[in-house]
Amino acid sequence: MPIVKGLADVVFTQTEISHPDSDNSNLIYRGYSIDDLVKGNASFEEVAHLILYGHLPSEQELSTFVGQLVANRTLPEPIYAWLKALPEHVVPMTVLRTAVSMLANYDPLIEDITIPTTLRKATRLIAQFPIICAAFQRIRDGQEVIAPDPKLGHAANILYMLNGKTPDPDFTRAMNAYLVMLTDHSMNNSTFTARTVASAQADLHSAVTAALASLKGPLHGGANEATMKLLLEIGDESKVDGWVDRAFETKRLIMGFGHRIYKHGDPRARHLNLLAEEMGRKVGALKYYTMSRMVEQAVLRHREIYPNVDFYSASMMYYVGIPIDLFTPMFACARIAGWSAHVIEQYKDAALVRPKSEYIGPRGLVFPPAP
Binding residues (CB under 6 A) for ligand COA: these are 219-220, 223, 253-260, 305, 308-310
Q: How far is the CB of 310 from ligand COA (least distance, A)?
A: 5
Q: Which of 107, 184, 266, 310 is catalytic?
A: 310
Residue closer to ligand COA, measured from CB, 198 or 254: 254
Count CB-CB contacts under 10 A for residue 183.
29
Tell me which residue of 267, 269, 275, 268 sits closest to 170, measured CA to CA: 275
Q: How far is CA 125 from the centre of its chain?
A: 14
Annotation says 302 is catalytic: no
First to last CA, the chain: 42
Q: How far is the CB of 194 from ligand COA (least distance, A)?
A: 17
CA angle at 167 for the pair 149 and 334, rounded to the nearest 5°: 75
Q: How far apart are CA 17 and CA 185, in angstroms?
A: 9
| Beta-bridge partners for 170 | none
Q: How far is the CB of 208 from ligand COA (least distance, A)?
A: 19
DSSP-assigned letter for residue 228: H
Annotation says 310 is catalytic: yes
* Residue ranges in 141-188 assigned as alpha helix (H): 154-163, 169-181
Three-class SS of 23-77:
CCCEEEECCEEHHHHHHCCCCHHHHHHHHHHCCCCCHHHHHHHHHHHHHCCCCCH
> Are the C-beta atoms of 79 and 134 separated by less than 8 Å?
no
Q: How far apart are CA 320 and CA 170, in angstroms?
A: 9
Q: In what helix (H) or strand (E) does residue 332 lie, and over which residues does it extend? A: helix 327-349
Q: How far is the CB of 329 from ligand COA (least distance, A)?
A: 16
Tell me which residue of 230, 241, 213 sits closest to 97, measured CA to CA: 213
Residue, CB closest to ligand COA: 258
CA dihedral of 101, 151, 169, 288, whole degrees rounded to 10: -10
Catalytic residues, by residue number, are 259, 310
